[in-house]
Amino acid sequence: MPTIPATVSTKGAWDPGASTPHHVLDAAHLPVMTLRDSALVNNTAVMQAYVERHGLLFAPHMKTHMSPDLAVRQIDAGAWGVTVASVQQAMVAWEHGIHHVLVANEVLDPAGLAWLASRRSADPASDVLCYVDSAAGVAAAAAATAAVDGQLHVLVEVGFPGGRTGVRDAATASDIAQRAVDAGLTLRGVSGYEGGLPGVDEARAYVDGVLAIAASVRPLVTGDRALLSMGGSAWFDAVTDAVAARPDDLDVLLRSGAYLTHDDGFYEARTPFHRHPAEGSLRAAIEVWGRVTSCPEPGLALVAVGKRDISFDEGLPVVRQIRIGGSARDAQRVPAPGAVTVTRLDDQHCYLALATGVALAPGDVVVFGISHPCTVFDKWRQVHVVDDDDTVLETIATWF
C-alpha cells in the first residue's frame, strides 16, 4: 500500500528538543489546536454503543476532521468504514488503508468516477459507493465504468424541496434507479440527508418518505440486502425512530461525524443526546490556545487567534479557560459567565470584551472552545491530542 508522506507544517508546532510527552505550553508556538483525549474516548464509545443498540451500521463522516488517525479510532471501535464528501477525500482514506468508503455526494467528474469504479479491481474486499440523482449522473458513471472495465456501486439520493442534492419525489427516484440498473451500475439502495431540516419532527417525516422509496426500489437491488444511508449530527434520533420498523433485509448506515469532537456551540445546542439523555452524553474535545498580545484600553483584550485559526461560521468561539501568566506552571481559571466574551474575529486577532473588574495582561493565555468542528480542523495540519492535565500524548495530521 503506498503511503502519503507526512505534511510539513510549523503551525502549532513545538520545539523538537522539548520532551515528549510534554505540557502543551512548553516551547509551543501559539496558537495551537488541541483535542482532549478523554472526550474523544467518551464520544467514540457513546456513539458506537448507540448505533449498536439500535442495530445500525456506522460510517462516520471523515470530512469533519480529515485525519486518518481519528478515523482509525472510529473503525477500531466498530465503525463499518467512513463517509467522505469528495473523491479526493476518498483517496486520502484509501491511501491510509480505509477501503470501506461512502462518498455521500454525486460524482460527475470522469476521472473521479473512473477511480471509484476501479477500486474493486485494486482490492476485491473493498466497498466504495457514491450517489446518483440524475440521468446525466448515471450516464457519466456508466461511461467511466466502461472505460476502466470496472464496477460502480451507487445509491439513489432522495432530497427534499428547498434542500440540496437528491431527487425530489418517488417517481424520479424509481426512474433513476431503473436507469442505473439498465446502465450496468450496481444499485445498492437509497440515501438522504435530514440535517438541513428545521427540526426533529420534520426530519422524521422526511426519513419516513425515504424509507418508503427504499422499499419501492428494492426489487432493483440485487443481493440479499439493500442499503439506506442517512444521518447528520443534529437529528440522527429522527432517523433511528423512523427506521425502527424497517424490513429485515434493509441495512441502515448512519453517517454522523461531528459527535467525535462535539463542540461548545452549534452541535451542543442540537445533539440528540440532550433529547435522549439515557442514551449517553458527549463532551467537547476541541480547544484552541492563544496568547494575549495587547490590552490597549479598559475592557478590551486582543488574542493572537483569528479567522485563520478557529471556526466562526456557526457562532463565535467561547472562552473556556484563562491562564494568567501564560505558562505551564500557571493555574487555569474558568471565568464566570459573561466575564470574558468573544465579540469579533479578524484574520489573526480575537477581540475579547472584559466585564468590570476583569483584567488580562499581554502574555496571558486564553483557551477557546469552538462552534462547528468541520470548519476548525481544515485550518490546521497538526493537532495535539492532550491528556486532562494538558500533557501532549500525540500529534496527529490532517489531510485537507
Peptide bond just before 31 cis, omega within 30 deg: yes
Beta bridge partners of 251: 227
Per-residue pLDDT of the chain (400 residues; tens, 9 = 90+): 333 333 344 565 544 444 478 999 998 899 999 999 999 999 999 999 999 999 999 999 999 999 999 999 999 999 999 999 999 999 999 999 999 999 999 999 999 999 999 999 999 999 999 999 999 999 999 999 999 999 999 999 999 999 999 999 999 999 999 999 999 999 999 999 999 999 999 999 999 999 999 999 999 999 899 999 999 999 999 999 999 999 999 999 999 999 999 999 999 999 999 999 999 999 999 999 999 999 999 999 999 999 999 999 999 999 999 999 999 999 999 999 999 999 999 999 999 999 999 999 999 999 999 999 999 999 999 999 999 999 999 999 999 9
d(CA 102, CA 86): 10
Q: Which residues of 42-51 are buried (b: 16+ CB within 10 A; e: fewer)?
A: bbbebbbebb
**Which pLDDT score is estimated for 4?**
35
User: Read out DSSP for 56-72?
Assistant: -EE--BGGGT--HHHHH
Considering the domain delimited by 99-256, tell me its CATH architecture: Alpha-Beta Barrel (3.20)
Instruction: Quickly count: other Cβ atoms within 10 Å of residue 337's Cβ.
Output: 9
Domain ranges of the chain: 22-36+282-397, 99-256
User: Read out DSSP for 228-267?
Assistant: EEE--SSSHHHHHHHTTT--TTEEEEE---GGGT--SSHH
**Which pLDDT score is estimated for 351?**
98
For helices 68-76 and 87-95, what crossing angle results, to 10°?
Answer: 70
For domain 22-36+282-397, the question of CATH label 2.40.37.20 is answered with yes
